[in-house]
Amino acid sequence: MYSANNQPDSIAGILYPGYYLPENRAKRIVSLLEPKDDWDKQQVSEMILDVTAPVDIDIVSNLVKLMDIKNLSDQEIHILDKLNLWDGNNQLENIEPTIYHRWLYQLLKYGFEDELGPEMFQELLATHMFKRLIAPLSEKETSVWWDNISTKDIVETKQLAVIESFKLAVASLEADFGKNNKKWTWGKVHTLEHGHPIGRIKALRSFFNVGPFPAVGTREVINNMAFNYDETGKYPVTSGPSTRRIIDFSDIENSISILPTGQSGNPFSPHYRDQAKMFNKGHFRKMMMNKEEIIRTKKSLLIFKPKS
């Protein structure tokens, strides 16, 4: 049984509408689960850390076929070749997700901002509806959104939008990181920082906040490290797993888990952030499920006494 906040199947022939996320994660979960039914703890831990985005590969394929290489520079052709070979992975050293999300943002801006205006366009980007329309829009050959309403004598096409947005994306990456595209790595733009309300004060940020760390993953993958689009082209994580936990009911006492920061909410506690690096690297720790084991292996002890 799984949920990726996706549209569920119909019940008694009725499809119930709702504010669902796209099917990307659900499709990936099903594709991994269907071939086998003999999962062990190690295999499950690898699955929940999966950062492959097959739907993003499909979107890239739909866009790339519209490109006209006669109008591209050598750098742009090289980048297009990299995207063509992308396996959908979102690791720290990959450059493909950096290029893909810059391109996608510029394409969406090209299509929607002239009708909606800058503020409404940014509001659209924060909705689940927007996330669900990306893949279908990449497949459609025609759409009213491709035409720029500010150019009265020209009717822009999807192909023009795709090419122009690609060029803008490459130019923005060159401006930010230089022309050497090997330096456009995902870990430079996709970061994870666990914020504290007091950490909003710049002088106190490093004490109360945990991170930032370069972060693997992306939005709408199993290891869902979500972020928003904006003009900066940077993708700090806005939401992600609140915990990772794997319980083998045939061996409960050797279950494993990890928290994003630590067990304590007290910044002065050694357990305030002691799991953060492990969480970010995809590691787990053994869960203590046995009283004798807890007593035998304890490194510190917190005692609560009733007020006399």
Kindly report, residue by residue over 176-212, the tens digit of the pLDDT.
999 999 999 999 999 999 999 999 999 999 999 999 9
Domain ranges (residues) in the chain: 49-183, 188-297
- pTM, entire model: 0.90
Asked if the model's pLDDT at residue 160 lies above 90, the reply is: yes
The whole-chain average pLDDT of the chain stands at 93
Q: Are 278 and 258 in contact (CB under 8 A)?
A: yes
Cα gap 52→94, rounded to integer Å = 12
Asked if the model's pLDDT at residue 13 lies above 80, the reply is: yes
Cα gap 83→130, rounded to integer Å = 23
Report pLDDT for 121: 94
Asked if the model's pLDDT at residue 298 lies above 90, the reply is: no
Phi, psi of 57 (to 5 degrees): -60, -45
Q: What percent of the chain has pLDDT over 70?
A: 100
Asked if the model's pLDDT at residue 300 lies above 80, the reply is: no
Find, among 182, 188, 56, 168, the residue nearest to 103 by Cα. 168
Check whether domain 49-183 has CATH 1.10.1400, yes or no: yes
Structure tokens belonging to residue 15: 């499809």
Asked if the model's pLDDT at residue 273 lies above 90, the reply is: yes
Find, among 26, 8, 5, 4, the residue nearest to 17 by Cα. 8
Q: Are 284 and 246 in contact (CB under 8 A)?
A: yes
Find, among 173, 287, 166, the residue nearest to 233 by Cα. 173
What's the average model confidence in pLDDT over 132-156? 90
Instruction: Return all residues near 219 (Cβ < 8 A) that are at least 6 apart.
Output: 131, 225, 226, 227
Poorest-confidence range of 148-152, 171-175, 213-217? Answer: 148-152
Report pLDDT for 10: 84
How sure is the predictor about 24, in pLDDT bands with cuts at 50, 70 and 90? very high
Most confident of 94-98, 156-160, 263-267, 290-294: 94-98
Find, among 94, 90, 84, 88, the residue nearest to 61 by Cα. 84
If DSSP codes are grouped into helix, strand and coil, which group holds residue 96? Answer: helix
